Chain A
Amino acid sequence: MTHPTEASVALVQIRRHVMWNRIIAVVEEQAQTLVRTAFSTSVREAGDLAAAVFDRDGRMIAQSVTGTPGHINSLAAAVVHFVDAHPIETMEPGDVFITNDPWLTSGHQHDLTLTTPVFHKDQVVALVANTCHVVDIGGRGFTPDGRQVYEEGLNIPILHLFHRGEANATLFDIVRMNVRESSQVIGDIYSFAAANDVAAQRLIAMMVEFDVDDIDDLADFVIDSSRRATLDRIRQLPEGVFRNELTMDGYDQPVTLMAALTVSEDGIHVDYGGTSPASSHGINVVLNYTKAYTSYGIKAVVAPDIPNNHGSLEPFTFSAPEGCILNAQRPFAVAARHIIGHLLPDTIFGCLAQIIDGGVQAESSASLWNIQLRSGTSVSTSSDYEGQIPEFEMIHFNSGGTGARPAKDGLSATGFPSGVKGVPVEATESVVPVVFWRKELRSDSGGAGRTRGGLGQIIELSGAGGAPFDVLAMFERVDNAPKGREGGRSGATGTVALGSGTQLRSKGQQPVPPHETLVLGLPGGGGFGSPLERPPLLVAEDIRDGRVSIDAARIDYGVVIDETGRPDESATAELRRSMST
């Protein structure tokens, strides 16, 4: 039987594990409150949010499972700025702080970050915070067309949103007068504050239950063990410098992302030297957001199962030349920074693929294809349209295909690396007067390979009754396809056009005339391994399902199908032989 000291040592250890689990549950409650109460579709339907708990030094201890990497990892770096601006000892019960400064938080002004101190026994014991995307922040709106951040709406420096429980009425008034859909934005701000309240209450309940007056020891334990576990994983990798380069469409000229990933026993450093300078339009990325998606990409490959916190992120360090598109400086425009940011995991996978046994997934469609529409009599010329032009602003989240994995096909029409979700067509049509005519998988868009890239989609929509509207285009990989790996082929590039055939630019506000449709072809993921090694039966299945055409099967995969739909084995073998020489 156990004697008391051993039992108490075991109990201390188990208690810390239990409290760690509890804190992860606390932030998940925080995230669920956001989803339940938020107004903007980006938070409530798409999950474009992050929620987390921090120690008194602003170090992240735990983050919610629900959320998206760009927000989570930039929130991790944001809270320390609140503590700098308002030292812990000056905070009071009932205080809530807010900012949307892109350079302090997640890279564009649509994201609000709220931080609330947690008081227990008259002391600040922790901070809880969340970052969420609101439906509008004024200015040009969610579009890459801005030339300076000043065109992109309201900037809120770090301010009290509530002071000793009292709402900052001046700030609420300013917000109300500067944004479209102001009641939704104001409602959202209340929801975000409520979510922090829920997390704070649960954290205090945990402290009471476990009879602890602070969580400093717990924070050290969480952060130290996560750092150690991450370093253990990194030390299993060969040391060295591994480079990759990705060329993207950009706003009006191609953008090159250059990464040098250095593995050492102290961690992984990524340097983006050689990357293109910042763009003259709003696709620029602040360093916080660059770090967020880079560390997500590394973590997903190297240490996916280690919980995300200050300790597990610490071994990853970053540098990017000031003024390059991945470390843009004020006043460069940043509203559509996700277009470039979402490509960073693909950039990093190209480095890691050189050292990971079994390989890393091929490139993905990656950047979200958000359909942002604006309609109204001040937007379109009404003389061309016989009916009433409705006033609305709409966003609809969509994704292309992900890259093929070493042993599995890519995922069709699935968000990656973004964690946001799509919105049902019926739900969107119930809110704005548009009609979707097609939203289905796009044949032959998945890159051929031993494993196939995920398929993109075809989406076609019009204004209800043929009304005209504008599209605020921010679509990537129209000129540069997601590449395959280890002999896999590229996925299909994206297309942006009118139903009548006229091509549109992939970026920027453009009109869709009356009785026209907007037709988008979303990119497919790259393939992995030689397509000639894909089992013919799987190719035949893809043909039957209309994912791959008979022609593409022959040309890309060297598979010939007989009249019953089964692979013609001898013809296939012969064709594949001739193709491989």
Chain B
Amino acid sequence: MRREVRLAIDIGGTFTDLAVETGHGPDRTTTTAKTLTTHDAPERGVIEGIAGLLRRAGIETSDVTMMIYGTTLATNLLIERKGARTALITTQGFRDTLEIRNESRYEQYDLDIDLPEPLVPRWLRLPVAERTNVHGEVLVPLNEGDLLGTVDLLRSAEVESLAIGFLHSYINGSHEQRARDLLAPLLPDVEISLSSEVSPEMREYERISTTCANAYVQPLIGQHLTRLESELHRTGLRCPLFLMLSGGGITTLDTARRFPVRLVESGPAGGAIYASYIAQQLGLERVVSYDMGGTTAKLCLINDGTPHTSRNFEVARIYRFMKGSGLPLRIPVIEMVEIGAGGGSIAHVDALGRIAVGPESAGSDPGPACYDQGGTRPTVTDADTLLGYIDPDNFAGGSMKLDRSRAEAAMSDALGSPLGLDTIGAALGVFEMVDENMSNAARVHSIESGEVIADRTLIAFGGAAPLHAARLAEKLGIDRVVVPPGAGVGSALGFLRAPVAYEVTRSFRQRLSDLDAESCNRLLDEMRVEARSVVEPGAAGRQLVESRLAYMRYVGQGHEVGVELPIRIEAPRIDDSSPGALGKAFQAEYDRLYERSIPDLDVEILSWVVVLGTEIDLAEQYLPNIESEGPADPVGTRLITESGTGRSVEVPVYEREGLEVNQSVPGPAIVVETNTATVISSRYAADVHPNGHLILRAQDLTEDGAPS
């Protein structure tokens, strides 16, 4: 059998990460690389990066059997408003859906807020007489004269992409399809996105916003993917190319071209998939992944090796990452909470004399004060340096020398003097506050998701995460932290683990007391056929697994709870016994989330989800226990300030590369590696897992570091 060689490429804002992998399980070999993203022509950086990586790994281009690609291009087009000139054709009387939004101000007390600018300006939002009602019945037929009347404007305005979104099209998309059939021949160079295909769900603002975003990024994403494909071919890479999706699955080039909005935030999704894989590998049932970089931190809840997913996402937030300040997208996403808390986040004293951190970031230019590149405001990295967590002489593998005195001056000017704290006290305040912000966001996020955060294992990756993970875990009441090796390219590694998968969602309202089993089954069958048509071409005959969810609530409530359809047979059917089983499953889930379930109320299903994907390769799973073979040898000592206690203590320093499997590192200690350092506070001790993970466990836990 031909050897499998998988190649992953993640284009980020600053770096393009690459990973190539051969073999399975314990025999797996992974090689990774990082190159600068070439913004003018991203394909170029990719091609050069691949060439270097394959050379290092000793692999020929013709040996590569599969490529998985993720990019921030779609996200960036939306944030920077650099997409195609897009028009919207919509139901007469509703041309302002994008602008009316939900009529709210996302921040109550700031009288000067801006609202997110719609992707389609008002003059290109074109109303057409037609109307379908909530049951899918046509009240007003599509006025084809109105429709054809838009063509002149669409041409003269040089519209490159067109969204079509009519009311209630999620239940009957025939007017949208007819409009496309009529317009497509007249506008051969214009891409057309239908809301009934891109996001067939109730709620017009979210659906039409999603459709417009799809249209807005479609032409440029399409061109980019075409160029990429031909460049790859030219270099001899002719294996199938898959795209990473926001929902955590991978899909074919063709599907990505049709629904490019599903590529948004695929990089962070890769990170969450990586953490999920580690969770599976270590047999951890309840996990929170924690990715902290220069500008933001992202946290994701992972249960039973599966990251939390959602169908609501907001892209391009314009105000302190605040909910409501961005564009809503209703697509399957891996649900994450993003906080303006990174190494570059700037600290200041607020009006109440409190230390506040972020979301403003010094970025990489000018960067933290200690970079000595002109930054004068104190950042989280400056605090980490002053507290002794970062070695100023050995930052980023020694490629950059940090100036401690700059950090001291910035900390003292902005915080120390106004608050009467010495620089260490101020740095401690910054460290505590940024970790508190992250822990608060994590807690609120977990309640919004109906989950508990304590009792989870934290999996930390990204440059700044290992520095803050132990303290964050203390604040969240978390006893175990995993710092995987090579976490700097976590997203690309995640791509390698992602299943070929696709999620189909439909709105179809049913009361349990009056369930139309036949229609439910017909709908589920249709959804299954659609998912299969997307997944099968990429699955290469691998076994597929299907999961089905019903989103349910008490009649009269507004928010649904996702309940796995409690049917586990080969061809799942809804039948007479289903309402009882579904009701029970819902009550159980509701109880778990909110503790007070409500007696004697009817329950309804709002929408249905079918997820079809390839099975995770279980051969790759192995769970050796750690048998502690005694403490490792430190390479030196360093004076640090402990965040929990504020004491300054001399701690041993270890080199991660020098650590042997099954050795242990009692806290307090610091483990340094090329791109980051792991701070082990006195609450924790670390063990080295055979897979290279550092596993921190609270000292009051058993010596057996292997998870139960």
Spell out A's residues near B (CB within 8 Å): 1-2, 4, 6-11, 13-14, 17-18, 20-22, 24-25, 28-29, 32-33, 35-39, 41, 44-45, 47, 65, 68-69, 181, 183-184, 186-187, 190-191, 193-194, 197-198, 202, 205, 209, 225-226, 229, 232-233, 299-301, 303-307, 360-361, 397-399, 405, 407-408, 411-416, 419-427, 429-430, 435-441, 457, 460, 464, 544-547
Contacts and interface: CB of A to CB of B under 8 A. Distances in A.
Nearest to A457: B100
A305 B444 contact: no
Given A2-B422, A411-B105, A437-B93, A190 B596 contact: yes
Contacts of B102: 421-424
Contacts, number: 245
B17 to A, nearest CB: 33
Given A14-B429, A33-B447, A304-B109, A399 B103 contact: yes
Contact of A430 (B206, B444, B509, B596): B509
B156 to A, nearest CB: 12
Contact of B448 (A36, A44, A414): A36
Given A29-B443, A300-B111, A187 B99 contact: no
Interface string B421-451: 1101110110011001100110110011010
Given A37-B557, A209-B477, A187 B105 contact: no
Contacts of A24: 440
Nearest to A198: B447
Given A7-B424, A405-B111, A45 B440 contact: no
B114 A194 contact: no
B440 A25 contact: yes
Nearest to A545: B122
Contact of A2 (B95, B139, B641): B641
Interface string B619-639: 000000000000000000001
A39 B428 CA distance: 44
Closest 4 CB pairs of A and B: A10-B425, A44-B558, A438-B93, A422-B103
A437 B641 CA distance: 65
Nearest to A194: B596
Contacts of A13: 419, 421, 429
A197 B432 CA distance: 28
A interface: dominant SS: helix
B648 A421 contact: no
Contacts of B426: 10
B554 interface: yes
Contacts of B437: 21
A427 B139 contact: no
Interface in B584-625: 593-596, 598, 600-601
A21 B139 CA distance: 53
Contacts of B148: none
A415 B444 contact: no
B115 A440 contact: no
B108 interface: yes
Interface string B94-126: 111101111111001111111100000111000
B353 interface: yes
B185 to A, nearest CB: 29
Given A11-B646, A414-B103, A430-B202, A305 B112 contact: no
A47 B168 CA distance: 25
A47 B355 contact: no
Interface centre among A68, A205, A411 (most CB of B within 10 A): A411
Contacts of A194: 594-596
Nearest to B104: A421
Given A21-B437, A421-B103, A422-B103, A226 B115 contact: no
B444 A28 contact: yes
B424 A2 contact: yes
B139 A435 contact: yes
Nearest to A10: B425
B352 interface: yes
Among A13, A45, A299, A303, the one with the most B-chain Cβ atoms within 10 Å of its Cβ is: A13
Contacts of A187: 554, 556-557, 598, 601
Contacts of B529: none
B570 interface: no
B99 A413 contact: yes
B182 to A, nearest CB: 24
Given A10-B425, A183-B556, A408 B114 contact: yes
A1 B594 contact: no
Interface string B157-170: 00000000001100
A6 B422 contact: yes
A346 to B, nearest CB: 12
Contacts of A464: 133
B479 interface: no
B351 A427 contact: no
A407 B641 CA distance: 47
Contacts of A424: 102, 202-206
A41 B558 contact: yes
Q: Indicate the member of B103, B131, B422, B432 with the most A CB atoms within 10 Å.
A: B103
Given A1-B648, A41-B558, A22 B436 contact: yes
A439 B123 CA distance: 17
A44 B559 contact: yes
15 contacts: A9-B425, A17-B355, A17-B429, A36-B450, A36-B559, A69-B108, A181-B556, A187-B598, A209-B477, A411-B115, A419-B108, A424-B204, A427-B202, A429-B168, A439-B97
Interface string B342-362: 000000001111110000000
B37 to A, nearest CB: 35
A451 B202 CA distance: 36
B558 A306 contact: no
B538 to A, nearest CB: 34
Contacts of B701: none
Given A36-B450, A187-B601, A424-B204, A44 B104 contact: no
Contact of A190 (B123, B428, B559, B598): B598
A440 B131 CA distance: 15
Nearest to B121: A545
B505 to A, nearest CB: 15
Contacts of A11: 428, 645-646
B647 interface: yes
A407 B111 CA distance: 11
Given A10-B425, A545-B122, A426 B111 contact: no
B134 interface: yes
A3 B428 CA distance: 14
A399 B509 CA distance: 29
Given A24-B440, A305-B351, A414-B104, 20 more contacts: A2-B648, A13-B429, A36-B594, A39-B556, A39-B557, A39-B558, A187-B554, A209-B475, A233-B351, A300-B109, A411-B105, A413-B96, A422-B100, A422-B101, A426-B134, A430-B134, A435-B131, A438-B94, A457-B100, A545-B122
A24 B421 CA distance: 25
A29 B451 CA distance: 12
A449 B109 CA distance: 24
Contacts of A6: 422, 425
Given A14-B355, A304-B111, A429-B134, A35 B96 contact: no
A273 B671 CA distance: 69
Contact of B122 (A17, A193, A304, A546): A546
Contacts of A405: 111-112
B330 to A, nearest CB: 12
A22 B440 contact: yes
A184 B601 CA distance: 9
A202 B202 contact: no
B521 to A, nearest CB: 22
Contacts of B601: 183, 187
A183 B593 CA distance: 21
Nearest to A208: B477
Residue among B111, B204, B440, B600 with max Cβ neighbours from chain A (10 Å):
B111
Nearest to B93: A438
Contacts of A407: 112
